[in-house]
Amino acid sequence: MKKIMVLMVCSLLASFGNAQEYTTNNLIIKQGNKTYTINEADQIITLRPEEFSIEYLNKPYQEKKNLFYAAQALVTDSSADVNFQEGIKIESIPYFESGSGFAAEKNQVIYYPFLSYDGHQYLYYVSNNEKRVDKIGTSGNWDIYKWTLKGVYQYDAEMDWNIYDNDQVHIALIIDRNLDGILQKGEFFNIHINFKK
């Protein structure tokens, strides 16, 4: 009986050790069995040139209620001057102006985002039938969304990270969680990813 109790305690401790704290002030990046918590508005990490995911808190897109919860992501091969600052209007930021979002097919999960300085892509979840990211759970009043990136769309083709012709990618991500159109702490991230084999 004592052995069973010890095994249960060890199992619980191991699961708590692997748990990630999702907040409205961070992102979680996962690759294989490694996890990176992005707490800063501007952060550099090193990954292998393989599939990875970005997980974050938001709410579902609710068109009938005019609640357009969607993250916005600009993916480029080198740093873009996005000028993220608290208090700035999102529509005044280059690459995030009104009308600069790329259209995608309905229910197209974006595994290969456009690599482009011409605009951003919207990442939203309505239901399992209409989504561009996956819902993987909940945390308090928020849903946890997972954006899996297998590579980028470049030269009119989907290009996996292992054949991507650069050793870095930059992702500027906005999550306007209160829908006020103004950047606030925890709503913007500029992630510089260096790839190393």
Q: pLDDT digit of tens for each residue in the chain (197 aa)?
A: 555 454 444 444 433 334 568 999 999 999 999 999 999 999 999 999 999 999 999 998 888 888 899 999 999 998 778 889 999 999 999 899 887 887 665 556 779 999 999 889 999 998 888 889 999 999 999 999 999 999 999 888 899 999 999 999 999 999 999 999 999 999 999 999 999 98
Q: Does some domain include residue 108?
A: yes
Q: Does some domain include residue 14?
A: no
Q: Does some domain include residue 17?
A: no
Q: Does some domain include residue 150?
A: yes
Place of tokens 């590579």: 151
Q: Does some domain include residue 82?
A: yes
- pLDDT value at position 16? 39
- pLDDT value at position 15? 38
Domain count, the chain: 1
3: left (phi over 0), alpha (psi -120 to 50) or beta: alpha
Q: Does some domain include residue 65?
A: yes
Q: Does some domain include residue 7?
A: no
pTM recorded for the entire structure: 0.86
Find the domain containing 51 and state its range.
Answer: 23-195
Q: Does some domain include residue 4?
A: no
CA-nearest of 75, 114, 73, 113 to 96 is 73
